Structure 1
Amino acid sequence: MAIIKVTRPKLTLLEKLYFPSIVKGMFVTFKHAIRSLRGKSLGADSLNSSGLGVTMQYPEQKWDDHLPEHYRGVPALVTDEQDRERCVSCQLCEFICPPKAITIIPGEIESDDPWAKVEKRPKEFDIDMTRCIYCGMCEEVCPEQAIFLRKDYAMTGLSRADMVNDKERLYEIGGVRTGLVNKWNEIK
């Protein structure tokens, strides 16, 4: 095998000194500062709440209007129009989840229930938001369209326990989703 010796290019005197690069960087920063003070910055019209620059005032202003259509946020469980659980505890979302953030414990449906033909529903359904990577694989694999990624990006908590969404919390943030649900289909 041949060895190729690579020589470094020789630096000029200006390239050896750091001062010209520092001045050039300060010039770019100063130019952007002047443009923002004059209100000519990129996005200054839509985010200009303080009168200067393009700083978003977060609690009052949010990115909700600027989010793209394909944005993936916090996962949530949804119910149908008659407030019935869509989830059948197939556990596909739990198996496909790369960081293993989803935990499902299936439960039986009582035999006196009018929808006893459905095999099971989740007894417990937890999503650990400290592990979730918002990949959307749980939404794609769900056969009953029971789990959706909302356009909510502000998921906070004061402790790790606050960041684990249980079944009740997931249904609370998920709401109602309309459309055909295979679980409640009479023909199935």
Structure 2
Amino acid sequence: MSERTPAGATPARRGGGEVERAGGGGAAPARRSLFPAPGQGFGVTFGQMFKKVTTEQYPETPKVTKPRYHGRHVLNRHPDGLEKCVGCELCAWACPADAIYVEGGDNTEDERYSPGERYGRVYQINYLRCIFCGLCIEACPTRSLTMSNDFELADDNRADLIYTKEQLMAPLLPGMEAPPHAMRLGEDEKAYYVREPEAGSAAEPVTVERA
């Protein structure tokens, strides 16, 4: 019969470096149920068999997501059609998965795409890497990048899951003009990003339709 190790003492070692357990053996823990172990397992199964089954008719019936669901990204526009993206690349720096690639370009008076000095000339999001965390949304200083409720992004080609700027841009609404064109809402950049509530238009949810 083995002796117990006193408190504070180093446990004795068996052959091969194995530490001897305190208490002198591996006694089985006491049961907390009167039913045998197989009966407890089957009890969980039988308990689920009589519950109501919820069946979703997807894709015939589209899945309704929560309003704040993080889905496919959208590059928004100003009410006159100019792009809100100024090519600052802060979204790319904030992305923990390195899924966003941005190249900025310079605006000119003859060819203007955004109210600022620069615009997003190249914008790509790799949805093979994106984890939909929303950090890019928080980093965007102009509220250009938002996330829609579109979650159907599966494809059989890896190259098709790299979305370009043309695929991410919000559609032109009535009253908007496709850039490039001159600024319509003010003479400077501040008039676009700092406007009175009655002068500007409230942000509306963007509905994304599948091709």
TM-score scaled by length of structure 1: 0.71
Structure 2: distance between partners of 1:145 and 1:34: 49
SS of the equivalent of 2:167 reads helix
Specify every segment of 5 or more residues in structure 1 that has no aligned partner in the other structure, as ranges. 37-52
Out of 83, 87, 109, which is 1:111 matched to?
109
2:45 aligned partner: 29
How far has the Cα of 1:74 moved from its partner?
1.9
What amino acid sits opposite 1:55 in the alignment?
Answer: T
1:86 aligned partner: 84
Q: Give the structure with the higher percent helix.
A: 1
Structure 1: distance between partners of 2:63 and 2:193: 43
State yes or no: 1:128 paired with 2:126: yes
Structure 2: distance between partners of 1:175 and 1:187: 20
Out of 10, 17, 20, which is 2:27 matched to?
10
The 3 A distance-change label for structure 1 pair 12 and 95 is: closer
Structure 1: distance between partners of 2:44 and 2:193: 67
How far has the Cα of 1:105 moved from its partner?
1.1
Structure showing greater Rg: 2
State yes or no: 1:20 paired with 2:36: yes
Out of 101, 106, 110, which is 2:99 matched to?
101
TM-score scaled by length of structure 2: 0.64
Structure 2: distance between partners of 1:187 and 1:25: 61
Tell me which moved more, 74-83 or 3-12.
3-12
How far has the Cα of 1:158 moved from its partner?
1.6
1:149 aligned partner: 147
How far has the Cα of 1:86 moved from its partner?
0.6
Deviations 1:132-164 (A, max 9, x none): 011111100111100001122221222111100
Tell me which moved more, 121-130 or 25-34.
25-34
Percent of aligned pairs with the same residue?
A: 28
Tell me which moved more, 160-169 or 147-156.
147-156
Out of 62, 69, 73, which is 1:75 matched to?
73
1:185 aligned partner: 191
SS of the equivalent of 2:92 reads helix
Structure 2: distance between partners of 1:90 and 1:12: 62
SS of the equivalent of 1:156 reads coil
